[in-house]
Chains A and B, each alone.
Chain A
Amino acid sequence: MESSELVFRLEGVSYRYHGRHLALDRVDLVVEPGEQLVILGANGSGKSTLLKILDGLYRPTSGRIWAFGEEITDVADDPEGARWLHRRVGLVFQDPDVQLFSPTVYDDVAFGPLQLGWPQEQVRQYVERALRAMEVAHLADRAPYELSGGEKKRVAIATVLAMDPEVILLDEPTANLDPRTRAALVHLIQGMRELGKTVILTTHELDIVPSIATRVVVFGDQERRPVASGHPDEILRDVELLGRTNLIHEHLHWHGELAHTHPHGHEGEHLHEHR
């Protein structure tokens, strides 16, 4: 694929917080249009930092990055460039409380489209469409502090969908959700593929990966860069890789008198067979 057709291209991107703490170390990554890319990694492997760099919020300490064929390495310091990027790329933060800062849900969802300078009628139309798509239209007049965790997540996604971006970045969207809300959210993320969106999602919950990923990139928690990339089935079968990157661990349990260990994921999934 031609470089200009790629959604993102990263070459040797590193990032240090306050110039000291290394969060990303020489990351090379390519994202193609229409992909549903899941970035797997343990806590502290740099997943959230990567999403903020892709959204132009952080300037890489070193390395270069392109979006839609244009270099965006310095876009964090360039308001015009940032505006162009944010029109095309939306980020859903891990903590929805960060994203819901307006007095009502409607105002929050309208915030992004308004900042893009759209006409008022178009803003209202896109806001209502996003609220319906996330099944939160009935919450439009509510204040964010009145919402449950799952509702907040849905509204946070609606705030980004209302801007109709080509790429949606989701930072651990299913974290801290009850099983039913989690399943509903996975279903909504699957629906984004039908809308033709490119989705880049970070998580360490292995059980949702097969349902939403077309490709998986695994970040090493020591290396702080991708250590593997491939089809979801191929990655999830590689027990040695998942163990090495702290995504599963050895779990001891008993079958009657027989002690037995097997790899065990963080969210309760059991990746083993009894022979």
Chain B
Amino acid sequence: MTVSPVRQRQRKRKGFVERTVTGVGTAVEQTVYSETYARQDGFLQRVDPRAKLGLFALALLVVGLVHDLALLAGLWLLLLGLGLATRLPFKVIALRTLLGVPLFAGVVALPALFLIDGRPLLSIGSLGPVTLAVSDRAILSVTTFLCRVSVSVTLAALLVLTTRWADLLKALRVFRVPDLFIIILGMTYRYVFLLLRLTENLFLGRASRTVGTTSASEQRRWVGASIGTLMSRSLKLSTDVYAAMVARGFSGEVRTLTACRMRDEDWLFVSLGVVLLGLAWLVDLSR
């Protein structure tokens, strides 16, 4: 595929910071759009967020303890089925797990392939006195690690895709997270959007007034000035937000609405999940 000269010039003109900001902006937009799935009427979407979060924590623990590869594969397929049953597109779940896992966990696990002792299966060469070889135990350990990460990431994807951010924050109270911390987390998420939009507009404003190329030193100066502008705007924003909180009676002590009661269906979901995870752990122990 050929790239048009205009596109080529645009690519050249976009600096590292600009690309980063655009990338983060796109990621934030995708996060917003992912709430579309959380708003759908599906089985997991209807479950109380506290039930989902509690079970998610327990499932992470069990997945971390299980060694059996077949069991891990079974758990992953079960989660995939659960995702499809709750009206999540296969592509969305797969993208979050199958692409992310080799990229991040794979890179982390790569050195372990050469560091774990065992029966050598593949010799690559030697580095001075050290022989670089991949052992059977290394392959098993790395595969187990990658499988655990895949199942954990799928679990997290299911939780995030079927639960709205606001509900997820409220569910944190299950773990006795202080209200003040939850409010700060919510406000951070809220204003990151605003500041990102502001940053994007700063870059767009500059791009619309830039003709030709600018030197590296000019770009550095501009980035420095933009950081300063953003800093001063965020300081003003934080002062104004605090004033708006005080104007509505805030005096340092946080008061929140009590969350709703769990329904019978939510308790049933938690019970089934606990039994299933307990069974998985017992089966793993018996092997």
Contacts and interface: CB of A to CB of B under 8 A. Distances in A.
- A and B from one assembly? yes
A123 B249 contact: no
B251 A83 contact: yes
B259 to A, nearest CB: 11
Interface stretch (B5-13, B69-77, B155-163, B187-195): B187-195
Contacts of A144: 190
A114 B250 CA distance: 9
Nearest to A159: B248
Given A115-B255, A123-B257, A145-B190, A103 B241 contact: no
B248 A86 contact: yes
Secondary structure of the A contact surface, majority rule: helix
Interface residues of B, number: 30
A87 B32 contact: no
B247 interface: yes
Interface in B143-172: 164-166, 169
Contacts of A146: 32
Contacts, number: 90
Contacts of A98: 237, 240-241, 243-244
B245 A101 contact: yes
A107 interface: yes
B89 interface: no
Contacts of B248: 86, 90, 111-112, 115, 159-160, 163
Q: How large is the interface on A (under 10, 10 to 19, 20 to 34, 35 or more residues)?
A: 35 or more
Given A98-B241, A101-B191, A114 B256 contact: yes
A267 interface: no
Interface in B183-222: 183, 186-187, 189-191, 193-194
A103 B168 CA distance: 10
B67 to A, nearest CB: 39
Given A101-B190, A103-B165, A145-B194, A124 B257 contact: yes
Contacts of B194: 97, 145
A120 interface: yes
A79 B252 CA distance: 10
B30 to A, nearest CB: 14
A93 interface: yes
B165 A143 contact: yes
Contacts of A95: 240
A86 B240 CA distance: 16
Contacts of B191: 101
B286 interface: no
Given A101-B241, A102-B187, A114-B257, 5 more contacts: A102-B183, A103-B166, A114-B255, A141-B166, A143-B165
6 contacts: A57-B243, A90-B247, A98-B244, A102-B183, A102-B186, A163-B248
